[in-house]
Structure 1
Amino acid sequence: MGALLKLTDAVLFLFFLVIALVAPSLDAQTCLPATIFPEFLVDLKSWYGREYGDYLVTEKPHFFVGLVWLELLFQWPLSLLNLYGLFASKSWFGTTCLIYGVSVFTSMGMSGSSENS
């Protein structure tokens, strides 16, 4: 059972680390001016939008901008808090993971229903 917990912690660490890095560097470009980001990050996001045909990235519909704001103001700080809680073995780590998961699940459900409208 201990090995399974260590594996789960490693997966959660990688997930929260990716969110902690990607949210302010790439996702924030959706709702903040591109001039405040390094050129290589702007080019990377533009390349992604063109290469994969991601209309959310290229067209920036209003509902998507709102979801990015939710991520930046609520989910991103929670991911940083979860990284700390994971390293420090805090007792509240499970609770903040649950809060983060509910927020992501809700925003994914909102984006799916908006696309189908």
Structure 2
Amino acid sequence: MGVLIKLIDAVLLFFFLVVILAAPAFNAQVCFPSKFFPNFLVNLNLWFTSEYGDYLLIEKPSFFVGLMWLELLFQWPLAIANIYAILVEGKLWFNSTCLVYGVSVFTGMLQSNLA
């Protein structure tokens, strides 16, 4: 059972690392002007929107901008706290913060699919 927990922790660590890197690099481009970001990140975002036709990134509806603010101000700090809890181990609040993070992501995904 201990090996399974370590495997789950490794998967969660990878997931939260991706969130910590991607949220300020890509999701923040929805909220802030592109002049605040390096050219390669802006070009990568433009390539993605043109290649895949992501209408949310192209049109930036207000509900989507709000979801990006939610991710930057609420989910991103939770991801940092969860990485800390995984690396330090023995943090009793880790399960609670993972649950709160998951509910927030699920609610945001449900909202974007209903719009």
**Pairwise TM-score range, normalised by the shorter structure:** over 0.9
CA distance in 1, matches of 2:102, 2:33: 29
How far apart are 1:109 and its partner, in Å? 1.0
With normalisation by structure 2, the TM-score equals 0.96
Report the AA paired with residue 56 of structure 2: L
1:101 counterpart residue number:
102
Q: How do 1:1-117 residues align onto structure 2 when only pairs under 5 Å count?
A: 1-89=1-89, 90-114=91-115
Matched residues, percent identical? Answer: 60
Residue type matched to 2:68 in 1?
V
CA deviation after TM superposition for structure 1 residue 52, in Å: 0.9
CA RMSD for the aligned pairs?
0.7
Q: Secondary structure at the match of 1:91?
A: coil
User: Structure 1: where are the runs of 5+ without partners?
Assistant: none
For residues 65-107 of structure 1, the C-alpha deviation after alignment (integer angstroms, 9 at most, x for no partner) is: 0100000010001000110011111111111000100111111
Give structure 2 stretches of 5+ with no counterpart: none
SS in 1 for 2:81: helix
- Runs of 4 or more, structure 1, over 4 Å off, are none
Give the number of aligned pairs.
114
